Amino acid sequence: MTNENDMAHEVAAETNGETHSGFVALIGPTNAGKSTLVNRLVGAKVSIVSHKVQTTRAIVRGIAIHGNAQIVFMDTPGIFKPRRRLDRAMVTSAWGGAKDADLIMLLIDSERGLRGDAEAILQGLKEVRQPKILLLNKIDRVKREDLLALAAAANEKIAFEQTFMISAENGSGCDDVMDYLAKTLPEGPWYYPEDQISDLPMRQLAAEITREKLFLRLHQELPYSSHVETEKWEERNDGSVRIEQVIYVERDSQKKITLGKGGETIKAISSASRKELAEILEQPVHLFLFVKVRENWGDDPERFREMGLDFPR
């Protein structure tokens, strides 16, 4: 069996010994398009996406190969002014990811500009030593002169190494970002096998997929504090997998909304999640969803560990 070091040596031999690798933290305000961008750059879905703010809760690592470089993207939670314990844990996780990276990419929604949380993030970045690049997203929705003015305003506040204008949605400008990262990251062996696209355990990815479908279905009606855990995972003799998951909500009223009239809503969520999981796993999936009320689960350290977050005291 080939281990990771052997794989790195094989790649090095094919590229005259010059392989590059490194960790790139993607930070920005909530709903700036970070998860969409990571999925675009990796070329596969590794991070869930919804219109709901603070969808990403813990750092998700997506792994991309570009030429002789392995780029490990760290999709961090959106940075915003925290109000609750879960909020504080997410923001702390985001800044921690930035400080652990080789390079930081700040993603700004060009339509929103530097208002609100973006301004606070720029101030916070002044305390971070890593090199930084600026990505202006959604450029197809903003006039060129406004983009140039936004880029100038941001670069007045932070000494960015480079500024890119992109669209995470349609991929415009993303190849230029990948070219830059591939040549900028330090020389060194790859951290992961060539065919690995994420370090997220499959049980956790499955829970994230269901949480995404939950948010997409109940965008306005359900607080973002709902949580999904994969409790059972059974590989069956017929080549299928049986998965049991629990959706935790904080009140009986939220449970009723999640179930829907006659169980219609939970069936739709289960169907959408099962379909995507079957595509990812490339095997039949039997998915069983249960909804439980756990009041104040946001104050339970065990739930934070399940999400990959430190429990703030």
Angle 237-198-38 (CA atoms, 0-180°, nearest 5)? 135
pLDDT for the residue 178? 97
For the chain, the residue count is 313
Query: Rounded distance, CA 213 to CA 266, Å?
Result: 10
At 3 the pLDDT is 44
63 and 69 in contact (C-beta within 8 Å)?
Answer: no
**For the whole model, what pTM was predicted?**
0.73
> Is pLDDT of 250 > 90?
no
Tens-digit pLDDT profile for residues 86-101: 555 555 555 565 667 8
208 sits in which H/E element: helix 202-217
Q: Are 303 and 227 in contact (CB under 8 A)?
A: yes
Q: Evaluate whether 18-181 and 200-305 have a shared fold.
A: no
CA distance to 52, 74, 191, 228, 249, per residue, from 292 (Å): 22, 31, 39, 10, 6
Among 3.40.50.720, 3.40.50.1820, 3.40.50.300, 3.30.300.20, what is the CATH number of 200-305?
A: 3.30.300.20
Least confident range of 175-189, 195-209, 282-296: 195-209
Would you state the pLDDT for residue 218? 85
Q: Is 216 exposed, middle or buried (0-12, 13-18, 19+ CB in 10 A)?
A: middle
DSSP state of 75: E
Confidence check: pLDDT of 55 > 60: no
pLDDT-derived band of residue 291, with 50, 70 and 90 as boundaries? Answer: very high
Q: Band of the pLDDT at 33, cuts 50, 70, 90?
A: confident
Q: Cα separation of 313 and 219, whole Å?
A: 30
The runs of H, that is alpha helices, within 60-159 are: 85-100, 117-125, 144-157
- CA–CA dist 198, 218 (Å, integer): 27
Binding residues for GTP: 28-35, 75-79, 137-140
Choice between 220 and 158, residue whose per-residue pLDDT is larger: 158
CATH number for the region 18-181 comes to 3.40.50.300
Write the pLDDT tens digit of every residue in 123-145.
Answer: 888 888 889 999 999 999 999 99
Nearest of 119, 28, 114 to residue 75 by alpha carbon = 28
Residue 87 identity (one-letter amino acid): D
Please tell me the distance from the alpha carbon of residue 109 to that of residue 238, in angstroms, as a whole number.
Answer: 47
**Percent above pLDDT 70 for the chain:** 75
Q: Which residues are annotated as a binding site?
A: 28-35, 75-79, 137-140
Query: The dihedral of CA 216, 222, 227, 229: what is its sign?
Result: negative
Closest CA to 303 of 200, 206, 207, 222: 207
Q: In the chain, what are the domain boundaries? A: 18-181, 200-305
Averaged pLDDT for residues 185-207: 89
Tell me, what's the pLDDT at 16? 53
Using DSSP bridges, classify how beta strands 103-109 and 20-27 pair: parallel, antiparallel or unpaired. Answer: parallel
